[in-house]
Chain A
Amino acid sequence: MAADALTLRRRHARPRVRLMPQLTGWGFVGPATLVIVGLSIFPAVWALILSLRDDNLLAPGSFVGLQNYRDLLDDPDLRAATLHTLLYSVLYVPGSLVIGLPIALALNRPIRFRAFYRTCLFVPYVVSAAATGILANFILDPQFGIVNDLLAGAGVARQGFLQDPSQALLTLVVVSLWGSVGLPIVVYLAALQDIPRELLEAARVDGAGAVRVFRAVTLPQLRPATVFLVIWQTIDALQLFDLVYTTTKGQPLDSTTVIVFYLYQQAFQLFHAGYGAAVAYALFVVTLIVSGAALWHARRGEAPS
């Protein structure tokens, strides 16, 4: 009995003592929680419900269960959009790393006007994708663009670029790389400056040449940065939308219709909002799996060392 009474009293006593610190804690966390719940979780749940409905957001729709998800599997246009997205990602993600790393290495050396070069390379990243797209439209116009004028001057045949079904997606990759290579450069630069000087010096003292130092010391030290960049750039690539919207609108012949642009078309131009939400959710799951796999792979690679 006595013990019971004791625990009872304790139970009563505890909240009173902890109330203030708890309130303070919630005071700090509250606003952010509200923002996350209101702007992320609430819409995400709403979209999940929408993906189970045949709905255009105008007329009252109906609950269709998993029908939208079944339709995903048998949609040749979505399959084509997925292929375009994959092709884009496969070119864009390694491309941005392969271009970004040497530039970061160069900018990490004591050269003249280094800060100026760094700024120049980062500016395109700061420019919005919309501006990049409009600019690309101008200079790559097959008939009136400056790039074709230069090519013609150099004796090369005029190209269709964004208006040629076989070139459009590749052109988009190039434009994206131009616009976003600033990120890998900055991330690699920061990582390069974090490599302990002693490691590099020790390697040189041991007689390693420049190439050997790069392969045996620099690259492994850059691993966390590389993992981060691969995940980040992959998510970026899978969600490509703004550049397509401002340049090709998925044309010519749907050759640049990527997944997010396709779901936008379905939801807002063809009035299949439920189906669009289902595509969004499928993409979300795929992105989650891809990021998870990349992280897992990275951790496994770290384990032995």
Chain B
Amino acid sequence: MSEKKIRSISVFIPEEVVCASLEKIGFVQIDSVTTSSDGKFWKKMLYIKGEEIVSVSEELGDYWPKDPVISICCLPNTIKTILGDLDALV
């Protein structure tokens, strides 16, 4: 079995679309919290599928454009699927 890898990207895709794309491939949201970093507030959502974990963080407030940060700790095939799905949405 291959090892998990990590990637982190920010994309100009609305957070709802990113989350729907993750749910479509079997990820389930387990929790969401408010975080603060770089002087900004973020809504951080955690998605899990088995041992694979993805977090989606979107800046809170009246900002544009929205570019959620997606941090992935998954098997290489899952990373490829997630990035492929996001590429198709751009």
Do A and B come together as binding partners? no
Interface residues of B (CB under 8 A from A): none
Interface residues of A (CB under 8 A from B): none
